[in-house]
Structure 1
Amino acid sequence: MGTWIRTGRAAAASVLACAVLLVVQQAWFFGGWGGAEVSTFVTDASYVPLALVFTVLGARVALSKRQEPRTRRAWQVITVAFGCQLAAHCAWFVQNHVLHVTGYPLTADYCFLLFSPLMFAGLLMLPGQYRRRRDRQRLALDALIVGAGGFIAIWYLLLGPILHATGLTRWERLFTAALPIGDLLLVLAMSTALLRRHQPEAPAPVRLLAGAIALTVTADVSYSWIQLNGGFTGGSWVDLLWLAGCFLLVLAADQQYRRPRNAAPRRADRNVVFILPYAAGIAAYLLIAEQSSHLPLNPYGGMILGSAVLTLLVMARQMHALRDNREMAVTDGLTGLANRTLLTERLEQLARRPIRPGRHTAIMLIDLDRFKPINDTFGHEAGDAVLVAAAAALRSVVRSGDLAGRLGGDEFAVLVQDLPDRETAGVVAARLLEALRTPVIFGEHVLMVEASIGVVVRDDPHASGETLLMQADTALYAVKRAGRGRYEYYSTVMDTRAREAELRQAVANDELVVYFQPAVALATGEIRGVEALVRWNHPARGLLGPGEFIDLAEETGAVVPLGAWVLRAACREAAGWRAESPGAEALRLSVNLSPKQVAQADLVQTVEAILTETGFPADRLTLEITESVILQPDPLTIGRLEALRDLGIELAVDDFGTGYSALSYLRRLPVTILKIDRSFVTGIADDAEARSVCEAVVHLGEAFRMTVVAEGIETPDQAAALIDMGCGVGQGFYFYRPLPPPEATAVIRRQFSAVVGS
């Protein structure tokens, strides 16, 4: 069962089966089929598969590496609680319908009792948003208010009657009282889990758990009340609540497993959760009023009424204070506009809404031109006056349903909704530009400012709020480069330009790093050379492989300075190996040349200058070119490649066989190495056709008197097959992955120091 349930389809099928089972049971109940005894049997039997499924699904979450450690630990405890529920339902069915055991409490009752403290602990262990001490204190107070309201209700309905009930032994009385106390713990845990707003809202699994607990507690209280006032009969309406709670536990476990480890935060609508403490207080006073309705108005009735009114007034005052705090938290103190927090929240709301025809949303990023000279010349007070005037100008244009805010400094943002078409966004932007040109009077000075605006009209339903803001910023950047004082729509072309600028800046800022993948002699495993492979250590996105940026570099021409940087860095590193390990003189270094580099008129001079600068010998360097270079080489290209060969540099055709190679040009070009693409190597160990094709390529290289190097070797069988074909050199994950410079240095030292020592 555990293995079967790990697959997505199996889990979905089990959830669907539980839903069908619940519907069938309720149809059986409302249909009144089979009489009371059969109805009880069907109801008690329905619990077992539901409990089995939510226990297995809970175990799947508890063991899953997809969950963060704190979530996994919490669900481990919750799964134990689920297991107690499963044991309780199985024991209940066996005791009532197989063994016909009577008495109280039985094994099932003890298992039901264990569920509450375990579930209480598991819910409190669930990770929540980081909170200050003051926030934790407020959370504790809110949870205690809910708990106090629940205690009053449970005392009135159960604990009081239990303490005064006759015919119970002391143990039976304590055990019976422990059940509602366990429910009270669940109420406390549920309110805590909801009020602390996980990441930063209570996600779907937590809300489902809270719903299950609410149904379970309601059913438990109803069950205990019925027991105290006449006796409970299985198969009644209370079972419908318990079964519905079990099904919500199934959904909660399934949703938690499907939830991404780092789910994108979403703004929560906390209205329902926010009123939990107030609802609990009001409910408690209603119970007090009902219980004390027989008391005389003077003095008890008046005191209770006055206390209730006073509490309600305090609640109302607190709600006003919280609303004021909220406004302060999302309002810019200088301009009175929305601040970055509110703008970000509203952007995320907009990003989650479906795009409707004829209802366009535009995001405008506004930057004041020549604001810094005003600040520097006339002081910060003048700058503040300009910012306040700019805020007033935005208010004069923006409609009541839209939002204008200040992101910080002299940067503003406007969110405009329900526009009939894209062009209307330009009309709004033009009106904003005109309003922002209004002179600002500061003392004896007249301050003139203008603005630049980047406009993005939302057309991608999957774009996040952060993405939309970045696109508006890209459009704003384009405006500033084009001369300021105007607006511009975002386009993907701008994005390419911005990424090109970012990539060129990465070269200038030394954000690139060269990894090295060794190529080995297939027969012995000895390292014969290393291939230099570039990576981008992006400050925001982490380490990026070449697939993330090389195509962009080729498209924009940024590959030329990037390629020169890679060649220089690789030669410098390899020259260091030669100096530190005397046995490494024979090591070859391979570096890729892009088609745009080969087309550069100064290619030979650039390579020669780098070799001179780094001290790496030309006869140990291999430059790899792609098939697109050899397909139709012009005389100038052939001349440059021959000049590189005359320096002593070897030339290799990389990824041979992936394009449309012209064999005649292999004879004309000064190429001495043929690198077989990984697509030919995959499958050669067990596919006769793939093996034949690969062997043909190897023999082709031999026919042209070239050294053949196989790429992408991942298994020993592939290596053995290549040896049988006559291929002597290869590289791939089976031997080495691309290594960062420190690891590559260690590998080189280890091999060539051993060679020298021997």
Structure 2
Amino acid sequence: MPPTNTGLNREVIPAHTLVFSTGDAGDAAYVIESGSVEVLAGPPTALRRVATLEAGAMFGEVALLDRQSRTATVRTLAPTTLVRIDRAHVDELLARSDPVIQYLLRLLLERYRSTSGAPGASAAALPSEAAPGESVHSAAVRTLSLLHDLTQALESDQLALYYQPLINLQDGRRVGYEALMRWRHPTLGLVSPDEFIGLAEKTGIIARIGQWGLRRAAQDWPRLRAAHPDDAPPFVSVNLSAPELCTPGIVEQIHACLQQFDMPMSALRIELTETTVVNNLQAVIDSIAALRALGSGVALDDFGTGYAGLEYLQNMPFSSIKIDRAFVEHMHTSSRSYFIIQSALELSRKLGVNTVAEGIEDARTAEALAAMGCHIGQGYHFARPMPLDELEARGIQER
């Protein structure tokens, strides 16, 4: 198998050799692994040394980031090993970064260029999914505004839970509900969970939001239970991230919350999202094991799209996995998606865990998944997410 291209390459350069000259394109930055270099400024016929850099130092990063020409010349003083950081690698990382980080970096580069007397950074210096220039500014301002407003949303009753039914694909019964967070912003209207949940995870507010969602779901469970008088009690799935499950005392908090509202632990399903890298894997494993011991189910959400799906399955005692909609939506048109679903179902059978398929939009998909052995499904084919009042008004008993 060929080596993975990380965008980082090692170069060994002899002594007294130019690395780059003033006016060259800024297509890379360098970290000195061993050896040393001198930084030279001035006209080509009268270069003067302005700095000497040794192992551990970085140079060339400003021209790389703002796409301007080099403003200095760098030459090795001794045999030197450099780690080269290519533009494509940095562009990829920056394009995935938060708009606030992109915008702040733009400002820093512009201020550096203006105070150093070098040419100004171009408007399109930093790559972004948004259009360059003012659109990045707008995205940054929106992010900062949402962050401020999100801290007020919990106290201002702006958050709500919408419930989407979970259907037993083998007999068509409603067996549970996924509690999905919604934010009714006073001026922006309904803010997408994809926008504010990611923001909450990055800023640490996710713990408070998760606690609010768990408490509201526990409060609502008796009404959901009352609608199933002749069936087994429905379960409620609540989304929590791995960092939340690392919180000390999280299992005790969950247990106490459910006890307060007379909701049995067996009626709770935790859906663990794999949207962030886990720094304390053992703490998550311990929390999942404790929740399972108390009777709760724990599902690996969006299986196959996150950071560590197979590693999670190997180390954590999940009761089910959720097959992501990205595969379900294309299972009839993409053989790859079909085989991925088929493999996930076979894997779940061998591990002895249940499967849930999300994003089911039509009867054909529901029937195909049922025939393949998938246990539970959800999607607009069955019902869209809706507030509990609307769910009850539409006849929650139609299961």
TM-score normalised per structure 1 = 0.34
CA distance in 2, matches of 1:535, 1:680: 24
Q: Is residue 286 of structure 2 the alignment partner of residue 639 of structure 1?
A: yes
One-letter amino acid matched to 2:255: E
Structure 1 pair 460/665, CA: closer, same or farther in 2 (3 Å)? closer
Alpha-carbon offset, residue 725 of structure 1: 1.1
CA distance in 1, matches of 2:217, 2:240: 13
* Structure whose residues are more often strand by fraction: 2
Decide whether the 8 Å contact of 1:578 with 1:584 is kept in 2. Answer: no
Deviations 1:416-472 (A, max 9, x none): xxxxx989xxxxxxxxxxxxxxxxxxxxxxxxxxxxxxxxxxx954699xx7xxx9x
Alpha-carbon offset, residue 535 of structure 1: 0.4
One-letter amino acid matched to 2:383: Y
CA distance in 2, matches of 1:607, 1:642: 14
Alpha-carbon offset, residue 680 of structure 1: 1.4
Deviations 1:208-238 (A, max 9, x none): xxxxxxxxxxxxxxxxxxxxxxxxxxxxxxx
Q: Is residue 183 of structure 2 the alignment partner of residue 533 of structure 1?
A: no
Question: Which residue in 1 is equivalent to 2:208?
Answer: 561
Alpha-carbon offset, residue 596 of structure 1: 2.4
Question: Which residue in 2 is equivalent to 1:676?
Answer: 323
Percent identity over the alignment is: 36
Q: Is residue 261 of structure 2 the alignment partner of residue 586 of structure 1?
A: no
One-letter amino acid matched to 1:676: I
One-letter amino acid matched to 2:348: G
CA distance in 2, matches of 1:696, 1:463: 41
2:194 pairs, out of 530, 541, 547, with 547
Question: Which residue in 2 is equivalent to 1:699?
Answer: 346
CA distance in 2, matches of 1:697, 1:640: 24
Structure 1 pair 748/620, CA: closer, same or farther in 2 (3 Å)? farther
CA distance in 1, matches of 2:260, 2:274: 30
One-letter amino acid matched to 1:637: V
CA distance in 2, matches of 1:666, 1:615: 31
Q: Is residue 278 of structure 2 the alignment partner of residue 622 of structure 1?
A: no
CA distance in 1, matches of 2:166, 2:370: 14
SS at match of 1:593: strand
One-letter amino acid matched to 1:567: L
Decide whether the 8 Å contact of 1:674 with 1:709 is kept in 2. Answer: yes
2:298 pairs, out of 648, 651, 658, with 651
Question: Which residue in 2 is equivalent to 1:736?
Answer: 383
One-letter amino acid matched to 1:602: G
Matches within 5 A, 1:340-739: 460-461=133-134, 492=140, 496=143, 498-579=145-226, 581-583=228-230, 585-627=232-274, 634-661=281-308, 663=310, 665-739=312-386
Deviations 1:628-651 (A, max 9, x none): 679776322221221111221110
CA distance in 1, matches of 2:283, 2:136: 46
SS at match of 1:550: helix
Name the larger-Rg structure. Answer: 1
Decide whether the 8 Å contact of 1:631 with 1:662 is kept in 2. Answer: no
Alpha-carbon offset, residue 747 of structure 1: 5.0
Decide whether the 8 Å contact of 1:683 with 1:690 is kept in 2. Answer: yes
TM-score normalised per structure 2 = 0.62
Decide whether the 8 Å contact of 2:246 with 2:280 is kept in 1. Answer: no
Decide whether the 8 Å contact of 2:245 with 2:283 is kept in 1. Answer: no
Matches within 5 A, 1:228-377: none
Alpha-carbon offset, residue 605 of structure 1: 2.0
CA distance in 2, matches of 1:613, 1:638: 26
Structure 1 pair 573/584, CA: closer, same or farther in 2 (3 Å)? farther
SS at match of 2:211: helix
SS at match of 2:317: coil
Decide whether the 8 Å contact of 2:164 with 2:177 is kept in 1. Answer: yes
Decide whether the 8 Å contact of 1:650 with 1:671 is kept in 2. Answer: yes
Question: Which residue in 2 is equivalent to 1:89?
Answer: none
Structure 1 pair 520/572, CA: closer, same or farther in 2 (3 Å)? same
Alpha-carbon offset, residue 659 of structure 1: 2.5
Alpha-carbon offset, residue 664 of structure 1: 5.3
CA distance in 2, matches of 1:659, 1:463: 26
Runs in 1 of length 4+ with deviation above 6 angstroms? 629-632
Alpha-carbon offset, residue 660 of structure 1: 4.3
Structure 1 pair 664/521, CA: closer, same or farther in 2 (3 Å)? same
Decide whether the 8 Å contact of 2:303 with 2:309 is kept in 1. Answer: no
SS at match of 1:532: strand
Alpha-carbon offset, residue 548 of structure 1: 2.5
SS at match of 1:586: coil
CA distance in 1, matches of 2:308, 2:284: 16
Structure 1 pair 504/585, CA: closer, same or farther in 2 (3 Å)? farther
Structure 1 pair 748/639, CA: closer, same or farther in 2 (3 Å)? farther
Structure 1 pair 461/655, CA: closer, same or farther in 2 (3 Å)? closer
CA distance in 2, matches of 1:655, 1:524: 24
One-letter amino acid matched to 1:535: R
Question: Which one has more relative contact order, counting CA pairs under 8 Å at least 6 apart?
Answer: 2
One-letter amino acid matched to 2:381: Y
Structure 2 residue runs of 5 or longer lacking an equivalent are 1-109, 113-131
One-letter amino acid matched to 1:635: Q
Structure 1 pair 563/584, CA: closer, same or farther in 2 (3 Å)? farther
Decide whether the 8 Å contact of 1:713 with 1:733 is kept in 2. Answer: yes
Alpha-carbon offset, residue 523 of structure 1: 3.2
SS at match of 1:510: coil
Alpha-carbon offset, residue 500 of structure 1: 2.4
Decide whether the 8 Å contact of 2:179 with 2:237 is kept in 1. Answer: yes
CA distance in 2, matches of 1:578, 1:585: 9
Matches within 5 A, 1:5-154: none
What is the alpha-carbon root mean square deviation over aligned residues? 2.8
One-letter amino acid matched to 2:159: L
One-letter amino acid matched to 1:594: S
Matches within 5 A, 1:207-218: none
Decide whether the 8 Å contact of 1:624 with 1:653 is kept in 2. Answer: yes
CA distance in 1, matches of 2:196, 2:277: 24
Structure 1 pair 571/668, CA: closer, same or farther in 2 (3 Å)? same
Alpha-carbon offset, residue 679 of structure 1: 1.2
Decide whether the 8 Å contact of 1:516 with 1:741 is kept in 2. Answer: yes
CA distance in 1, matches of 2:252, 2:316: 20
Decide whether the 8 Å contact of 2:271 with 2:300 is kept in 1. Answer: yes
Structure 1 pair 461/586, CA: closer, same or farther in 2 (3 Å)? closer
Deviations 1:699-730 (A, max 9, x none): 11111100011111112221122122111211
One-letter amino acid matched to 1:524: D
SS at match of 2:397: helix
